[in-house]
Amino acid sequence: MPGKSKRVGLNVFQLFDLFPDEMTATEWFEKVFWAEGRVCGHCGSDRTVERKNHKPMPYRCKDCRKDFSVRTGTVMQHSKIPLRKWAVAIYQITNSLKGTSSMKLHRDLDVSYACTWHLSHRIREAWDQFVDEEIRW
């Protein structure tokens, strides 16, 4: 198994180049979550339309008639943290050798410590669920 010096990943500048603004981060999350096509976060239907003014949310389901976004049905659902900061936090937590503390995220993301504590727990919980699903296969 290669040591730390052999690890390949993104540096901070490459990470910020990937997500220069909120719109880019939103588009990236949509590509990841909806690789097979946009689906409603409430009912899972693929019969969705884009709202013209994107208010209150950018998409609407034709089946359940609810508005949704890429956050709906995910650990980011009720968070006011920008998706760009979520992307950076997910990268830091999942690629750190020994984990990333909430205090480090607090300094790096420029949000409150309590906010980063909840954010990191949500990411770890989602990761645990993902790993459990992979093991069942």
Amino acid identity of residue 9, one-letter, is: G
Burial class (CB within 10 angstroms; exposed 0-12, middle 13-18, buried 19+) of 36? exposed
Band (127; pLDDT cuts 50, 70, 90): confident
Residue 27: C-alpha distances to residues 5, 7, 91, 104 (Å) = 32, 28, 17, 26
What is the pLDDT at residue 137?
46
When pLDDT is averaged across residues 35-58 and rounded to a whole number, the result is 94
Rounded CA-CA distance 76/48 in Å is 20
What pLDDT is stored for residue 62 in this prediction? 97
- pLDDT tens string 73-112: 999 999 999 999 999 999 999 888 888 999 999 999 999 9
Query: What CA–CA distance (Å, rounded) separates 96 from 11?
Result: 12
Residue 24 has pLDDT above 70, yes or no: yes
pLDDT band at 46 (very low <50, low <70, confident <90, very high): very high
User: What percentage of the chain exceeds 90 in pLDDT?
Assistant: 67
In this structure, the dihedral spanned by the alpha carbons of residues 64, 68, 70 and 76, taken in order and rounded to 10 degrees, is -110
Q: What is the largest CA-CA distance in the chain?
A: 52
What mean pLDDT, rounded, does the chain reach?
Answer: 89
